[in-house]
Every structure is written in structure tokens, then in C-alpha cells.
Structure 1
Amino acid sequence: MAIKRVRVEDLKEGMFIHDLNCGWLQHGFLRQQFLLRQSSQIKKMKDQGMDEVYIDTARGDDVADAPTREEIDQRLEAQLKESVAAGAAGLHARVSQKEESAAAKRILGEASGVVNGLLQDVRLGKQLDPVKAKPLVKAMHSSVLRNPGALISLSRLKSADTYTFQHSVSICALLVSFCHSLGLDAASVEEAGLGGLLHDVGKMKVPNEVLNKPGRLTEEEFKIMKSHASISRELLMGVPGISEMVIQIAGEHHEKISGGGYPLGIAGDQISKIGRMTAIVDVYDALTSNRVYHKGMEPSEVLKKLLEWSGTHLDGDLVQQFIRTLGIYPVGSLVRLSNGRLAVVVEQNEDLLRPTVRVIYDIDRKIKLVPRDLQLTSGGEQIVDYEEPAEWKLDPASFL
């Protein structure tokens, strides 16, 4: 008996759903795990654009030739390492992560305040004024140019009660890095960053009891929540001077490459490139963030999810490029080294399998170490795997 991944079109009554496999979305099912009793449940999955789910064959019927979760994980692990064969995507630190952290922390604090103000203006029915945000986007771009990892690693730290604001700031930082790594000119990079800051303005028109509900949404609540993408687009279209790129980011970041997303259900190249890029960073940030109703996953695990959803939910080529932007061990990741020590990734290098790490813990002696930086090389210590910080009672961010 095993956990297996099956196509929604192959589901039948009597199978037990273990995981709906759409972790970044709140969906119209009250539970992630349940026995399929009616064909209407399968139809609902199809209507919501679900492509593949996981079943538990110990609690329901089997699909003989479906791959197990272990087989899929091994395959994704190999794909992840293959993704970085071409090296880093052109982001090189001009200053150390330690030097840039103070500036990045200040920028993120200012950005959260500005975004909070902008979104509250929308909630109160006031005219959105993006001019206030442009200097901050420029400052974030400058921070990424100085050190790509500092801003992104710090932007993972969010409070549950201010998630909507901080999520928008994180999307800005990730889009700035992603666009810069793809070689976009400075004006386009900063326009994308502005789009990231404003991509969820429509959520301010969603009732608070739905937006901040500490649990799964009902089907009706899910419909209300999904309306935020079209509302965002309409709001931004009414703001003088807003570019088409910003509107595309807001209106298309929940579309799916295979169709079945929202609000329009468009597919493939019907979705703009920047819309497809934003879908990737939106998934990444949502899955790595702690929320009231779920614990954030470690970055390397989320990168595997991006690969798994390539070709159905996400643009596979862009996912590969995003992985090369962040590295398979993003800054702030806790990793286990071949010498039995734990370390935090602090810098990416051209060889993304061998970043610079800060050694912090001796596993055999179960003691914290005086932190020291180590540049991994082909002939020296290697990363064996990434680790779950909670299991070691360690906070990687405190070592950055």
C-alpha cells in the first residue's frame, strides 16, 4: 500500500484522496483528505482546474500503474540537480550578504509600510497612487544588484496578521531578481517590481472574514476569494499611468499554463510571459510562508513542487530559469554537510551545487558552533541534503 499520484481524470469513487496537490491555493474542499463517494466530487476537482492528486491506497482503491510519492520525489530530486547544470543565472553579489542585510531589512520595513498604506487606500475607496511605491521598487532593485540573496531571504519572514502586505513585498523582490536574471532592462525590472507590489490590490475588496479566515474556505468563499484577480485588473486599469505589464501581473498570476486557472482560464502563450513568471514566484512565496492554516515548506522542497507542476500549472522553461536564479539551496536554507555539520546557505556562486555556507552546528556532538563561513568546492565538503530547521530547534534567519 502506498501514496500514489494519479490524474484527476483517472479518479473513481472508492479512492481516498490523500492530498489535493494544489498547495498554494485555497480551494473549495473543506478537507485535504477524504474518501471519494460521489462523481460530483471529481467533477468539482476538474472544474477547479486540478490536474493530479495523491491517493492513499491503504484507505481506498488503487491505480495499478500510478507512480508512488517516493518514485516522484526521487525523480524530482534528480531534475532539480539537472536544472542547475548551466550554472547561476547571472546574479553575482557585489557586497557580502552580511553587508547588505541591514539595508535590505530597512528597505523591506519601508516597503511593507508603503504597501500597507496603498492597500488600505483601496479598501477605503480612495484612488490608488503608485507614485509612492516607485522609489521603493528602485531601492529594492539596487539591493538585488548589490547582493541578490539578502533581500529575498529576509522577505520570507512574515507575520500572519500582515501576510497580505508582506506577500506583496516578497513578490516584488522575487520578480525584481527573476527579471534581472533574465536580462531585462532596468526600467522593465522596476515596472515588474511595481506590479509585484500591486498584484493583490483586489484583495482589499474581499470581505475580511474571507480574506483572513484561519482555515479552509467553503466553496462560496473560494469563489469570492478568486474574484480578487479580476478586481485587481479592473482597479489598476482605472489608474492613470499604470503600464500593461503591471495589469498583466495582477490579472494573470493565477492563470495556469494548461488552462483551468482564473479569472479567464487562458492557457499557454495566451498568458503573457510576465504573467507566467509571476505565477511561479507567487506559488514559491505562498508555499514557503507560514500561515495560520499551514506551515511553510523549506525552499528546496518548494522548488521540487515547481518542477512537479511544470507543464500543467506552470511554465516549465521559466521554472528552470527561476531555479537557476535562486539556486537549489536558496540563501537562508539549512543544509547538512558531508562532515556531519549543519550550515546555513549565505551566498550563491556560479556552481549552484556548491554555495558559500555558514557552519553553525555539530550533529555528532549536538552542540552549536561559533559560526564560520565555508566556500564549498568540488574537492571538499559537500551538501548532503537540506534540513527542517524546526527539527533542530534552529532559526536560519538568525544566522544571516
Structure 2
Amino acid sequence: MTIKRVKVEDLKAGMYVHDLNCSWLEHGFIRQRFALKHADQIQKIRDHGLNEIYIDTARGDDVAGAPTQAEIEQGLAQRLKASATGGAALAPARVSQREEAIAARSILGEAADVVQGLLQDVRLGKQLDPAKALPLVKAMRSSVLRNPGALISLSRIKNADTYTFQHSVSICALLVSFAQALGMDAATVEEAGLGGLLHDVGKMKVPNEILNKPGKLTEDEFVVMKSHADLGEAILRGVPGISSLVVRIAGEHHEKVSGGGYPRGIAAGEISQIGRMAAIVDVYDALTSNRVYHKGKEPSEVLKRLLEWSGSHLDGDLVQHFIRILGIYPVGSLVRLSGGRLAVVVEQGEDLLRPTVRVVFDASRKLHLQPRDLHLAHATEQIVDYEEPLAWGLDPATYL
């Protein structure tokens, strides 16, 4: 089997689609894999704003000269490591991850409850009161300033029953970190965080049977789901005193820099900077989160996807900034060290290839170890690659 990435304009009947190469929520196809039998299917792919997809040449026609998936992955891994040359984008931690994790858990729990209350008010037709969320946004900014990784890593942990609310909290934390790293003033950072909390407010006007469907949406259901961006923008425009930045996050977080996104299909020059930032963090959180019908990918793997989609879906320069915020191996990642041990990343330093890790497992002897922190910036051992926790029966979150 040879999987290749091809441009949509090179597609023709007789090929077999292996992967549509977009985030799980970005298309209305029931299946990711199918045979191309007629021109209407190809047109539908174009209509969804897709630029490049993967084909299986063992099950359909080939495209001469198209790069293989293995070549693409090798190139993305090199690009990801090259991103480390810019150094960390956020100031070093003021307190340890262990210490900040206590405060971060409290903030995240309270934030999820507040967001749930705000969004439920919208579903019930009540007036949205964003003032209820502002103290929590300020608390998140303070947490990021104390230790950038603690809040973001813990926000990956979500309950399936309250995913919509916890996803909004995660987007808040990520946008606060993003805006802080770009040097925005405190008021703008907090507006970005509020926009993250409210970016999916339009989903409260989407029928529950579609919003909470435990599986892929049909094409008609996908059309209804896409309306949440327009609906959210309209809801927020009706809230007294809400800033245009918050409104743009809700209305633009599904737009693509090459056009073809929704709700308006506008391109890079028309999408605000905060809208392009929101698109990046929304995809990152969606792809790293476990859902009933979607197993979350490891953070380093998702960062490679962000690089792959740079220039088509996402703003490439902002993706590079985002990687330097999280690190090549984000906090909470399981990594293999050159000595054969497995460790959980707990702290980023200036050198993004040499974070502080918590050694937890001996891979060769398949033996759990007494957790011990190792500062790779001052060690002979280095990270070889990231690992899939389930393959080892490990849960990195338990070590944070």
C-alpha cells in the first residue's frame, strides 16, 4: 500500500481517497475513505475548501510524482524540530508545575461551571452576562504568567458529557497564552480569553440531537452545525458592551486563510489576527481531545498537522508562534529518552528540545519507576520522540 498526498485539482475518477486531510469537524463526508467514481464527488471536495488529500494507490489510480505519506511525515518532523530554533515564546515559569497545577485545577473546574451556566442561559433565551466570566479570565491570565504549561496541559482532560463547555475553557486558556506570547496588553489578552470562552455560544442554538450526536454528522446535519459561527456572532453583537474582538473570534474561528472556510469563506487578508489565532487553537484542542467517536491525538502529532495545514487552512507564521508557546513536546506529552526510559514533559525551558521531564517508566524492562524529574538542559539523555500513552498503559495526566 502506498499512500500519497495529492492536490485536489489532480483528482479524477478511479482514485481512492484514503484521508481527506482535515480536522474531524471540517467536512460533511460520512466517510474519510471512499472510491472516487464521478465528478460530483470531486466537486464536493472542492466545495468543502479542501486543498490536498491523501489517496491509496493500491486501491485506485496513482498521481506520478506526488509525495508519499512517509516523505510528508519525515518532512513535517524535521519542520517541527526546526521550529525550536526560535526558543520559547513565553516567559519562564515563576512557580513549579506541581505548585501551579493545584491552582490550575481549581480555575478549570470553576470555569467549566461558569461557562455551562452562561451557555445554558443562551439556550433558555436569557441575556448573556459576560461579566460573570471576567474574574475567571483574569485568573487564567495570572496562572499562565506563573506557569505557562500547567493550565494548558490540564485543560486537555475532558468529560464527554460536558465536552462543549470544557472545550470552551480550553480555547480560553490557549488564547490567553497565545495573546500573552504575542505581547498584547493585559486588556486585550483578557478579551481574547473571553472570546475563547464564548466562541461556541452559537452552538446553543443548534438542536441537541445534532450537537451531541455520538458519531459523524450527515451532510445536512453538518450544514446545521456550521451555522453556529453565524449564530454566535449574532448573539454576541446583541450583548451590550461586548468588544468587536470577542465577536470576531466567534464569527471567524472556522474560516481558512486560503478561503473555503465558514461561515463566509473569507481569506487571509479579510480574517482578523485574532480570528486566525482562534482557528489554530480550535483545531489543536479538537484534535487532542478524546470524544466518543474521535480518539485524541498526541500533542506533538497535532502540531505536525498544524504545520501541514499552514498556508491552506491556518496562518503559517502564527502556527510557528503557537508551537513556540507549547513546545515541540508540550507539557503532558509522553516521550522516549535516548536511554530507553519513558518520561512525561512537565516544564518548558528556553531550549524547546530539552524540557524538564518526569521519568516514570523503563521501556526495556517494562517496569514502572519512582517518578523523578530530569532537567534535560543539563543531562546527557535527550528526547528521541514522543510516544502513544495507551500503547504503554500509561496516563500522563496522573503524573502532573
The TM-score normalised by the length of structure 1 is: 0.99
State yes or no: 1:256 paired with 2:264: no
Find the aligned partners of 2:7 and 2:152 in 1 and give their Cα distance. 34
Question: Higher mean Cα deviation, 20-29 or 32-41?
Answer: 20-29
Q: Distance in 1 between matches of 2:208 and 2:7?
A: 35
**1:183 to 2:183 alignment:** yes
Q: Does residue 140 of the first structure (1) align with residue 148 of the second (2)?
A: no
| Paired letter, 1:100 | E
Aligned 8 A contact 1:27 1:217 in 2: no
Q: Which residue of 1 aligns with 2:349?
A: 349
Letter in 2 for 1:169: V
Q: Is this contact kept in 2: 1:24–1:283, CA < 8 A?
A: no
Distance 1:243 1:318 in 2: 22
Per-residue deviation at 1:218?
1.0
Paired with 2:191 and 2:379, the residues of 1 have a C-alpha distance of 43
1-side partners of 2:225 and 2:292: how far apart? 17
- CA distance in 1: counterparts of 2:138 and 2:261, whole angstroms: 31
- Residue 26 of structure 1: CA displacement? 4.7
Residue pairs, 1:120-269, within 5 angstroms: 120-269=120-269
Displacement, 1:231?
A: 0.3
Letter of the 1:112 partner, please give it: A
Q: Structure 2 CA distance, aligned partners of 1:161 and 1:151? A: 21
- Secondary structure of residue in 2 paired with 1:311: coil
Unaligned segments of structure 2, at least 5 residues: none
Name the CA distance, whole Å, in 1 between partners of 2:360 and 2:183: 35
What's the CA shift string for 1:8-58, capped at 9, x where partnerless? 111101111111111242522111111011111111111111111111111
What letter is aligned with 1:46? R
Q: Is the CA contact (8 Å cut-off) linking 1:348 and 1:355 kept in structure 2?
A: yes
Q: Distance in 2 between matches of 1:154 and 1:304?
A: 21
- Assess if the C-alpha contact under 8 Å between 1:19 and 1:53 holds in 2: yes
The structural deviation recorded for 1:108 is: 0.2
Aligned position for 1:290: 290
Q: Structure 1 residues 381 and 208, CA, compared in 2 at 3 Å: closer, same or farther?
A: same
Output the CA distance in 1 between the equivalents of 2:123 and 2:195: 18
Tell me the CA shift for residue 222 of structure 1: 0.7
Q: 1:202 touches 1:231 (CA, 8 Å); kept in 2?
A: yes
Deviation per CA, 1:271-304: give whole Å up to 9, x if none: 0000000000000000000011110000000000
Give matches, 1:1-400, under 5 Å.
1-377=1-377, 380-400=380-400
Give the Cα–Cα distance (whole angstroms) in 2 for the partners of residues 326 and 182 of structure 1.
13
Q: Is the 8 A contact 1:26 1:217 kept in 2?
A: no
Q: Which runs of 4+ in 1 moved over 6 A?
A: none
* Amino acid across the alignment from 2:103: A
CA distance in structure 1 between the partners assigned to 2:206 and 2:71 by the alignment: 41
For 2:44 and 2:215, locate their aligned partners in 1 and report how far apart those are by CA, in whole Å.
20
Are the equivalent residues in 2 in contact too, given 1:172–1:197 (CA < 8 A)? yes
Tell me, which stretches of 5 or more residues in structure 1 are unaligned? none
- TM-score for the superposition, normalised by structure 2: 0.99
The offset of 1:90, in angstroms, is: 2.8
Superposition deviation, residue 134 in structure 1:
0.3
- 2:291, 2:10 → 1: CA distance? 32
Q: How far apart are the structure 2 equivalents of 1:365 and 1:28?
A: 46
The answer to whether the 8 A contact 1:2-1:57 is kept is yes
CA deviation digits over 1:171-198, x for unaligned, max 9?
0000001110111111110010000000
Alignment length (residue pairs): 400
Contact 2:4/2:55, CA 8 A, preserved across alignment: yes
Between the aligned partners of 1:127 and 1:38, the Cα distance in structure 2 is 49
Find the aligned partners of 2:165 and 2:206 in 1 and give their Cα distance: 14
Quote the offset at 1:378 in angstroms: 6.5
Identity of aligned residues (%): 75
Taking the aligned partners of 2:378 and 2:71, their CA distance within structure 1 comes to: 28
CA distance in structure 1 between the aligned counterparts of 2:90 and 2:131, rounded to whole angstroms: 30
Does the 8 A contact of 1:341 with 1:362 survive in 2? yes
Deviation at 1:111, TM superposition (A): 0.2
Measured in 1, the distance between the counterparts of 2:24 and 2:286 equals 6
* 1:53 counterpart SS class: strand
Write the letter of the residue equivalent to 1:20.
L
